[in-house]
Structure 1
């Protein structure tokens, strides 16, 4: 269950690379946790001296790097969430929803108005990592056994806790109906390979985006140029466009690269 000396020797460089990739990309408004994880895996596969182990028997670099990137991005996603109110992961979206339920609105002034909260959140990251190491090392065997629990039984337990928690908030049966409808929608999305994290983020950001859009239109007297004449708004729009179009452009380039130069009939 524990790593050998050879695995430690093969893991420390991927850990450093994964952390260096995860935090800055996670801190980008269009970053999130998935991009640095897959990017780290691709880099480790390219740099590894044991490429034949990837996708077959398993390479320790393919676990160490992406996991380090994933953990580092968890701290990075707090940057756009706290400063701009933009959750770039499902976890950040849940945190933003919790902030709003307590009347806390993340933004540029959050550090001034809720400084204790921000610094407490940052300190909790350090404490959580220490506790994570202390708990996980002796409990590795338990976590491995949890993976052997049949999925139907695991999902049934999660459903019970979700039902109790939802009903306990306002004691409203309507909330339970909404919970089950959203759960059914989530099941269908997973069944047909649709990502669920964007839906969660969209449900939280939708009302905020509409409110801020109407506010901007009111301030500018209906002038749409307010979105691209200011440097900050233009920069954010550019980053959003890159985040949306970048993966598709990269996939197109990779597709053309794999196909290679097209053969033209008649060429020698």
Structure 2
């Protein structure tokens, strides 16, 4: 009797345990399904995290490259600003401009003076030729005048006083004209030498103008380079902002994965 009662108790206990097991399996089935889904999602998140870490490594490499280029650009930008704001270059540029203006005024004045001298020279040459023609038209030389003055009879009546006065006035006028002519020739030679000097200075002016154009081109190139560097700096700053957002997203996803893993462990 004891054995039978014991067996019946054991069978009853076994049946109750089987019921509990069936009930536990029925209750645990949704949890197992949820755990399976969480494991699948965890696996997908780990794969996504690997991809994000790979992108992060590439982004860090790009960041280092851009950082080096950014520092190099900053140095170049500072050097270009120093060159652009260098006071000696600006003073030299202004000094060249003043020299060009002074040389231009000097050239204009000398050209006007040369034109006036040429006009006076042509006028005096014309008067000199007319005087030569007048003297040659008289048909008398100094010897003819002396012979007519001291003729065979030696009388003073053979020479007219008016003719002597005219000859003296013509001689004085000729000497004055020759003196003016020689002075004008000297002035003309001095003017030619001054004009040659101005031509040499004009060559220097052309050289300074060419140098001025070169300085202008260098200044324009420096301004264009500075604008380009500023654009690069702005793009670098936007890249850094994108990288910070990307890093924050990775950290948030990593925290989410850790929370899911902890929840999965609690379910297990």
TM-score (norm 2): 0.19
Higher relative contact order (CA 8 A, sep 6+): 2
Query: Which is helix-richer, 1 or 2?
Result: 2
TM-score (norm 1): 0.19
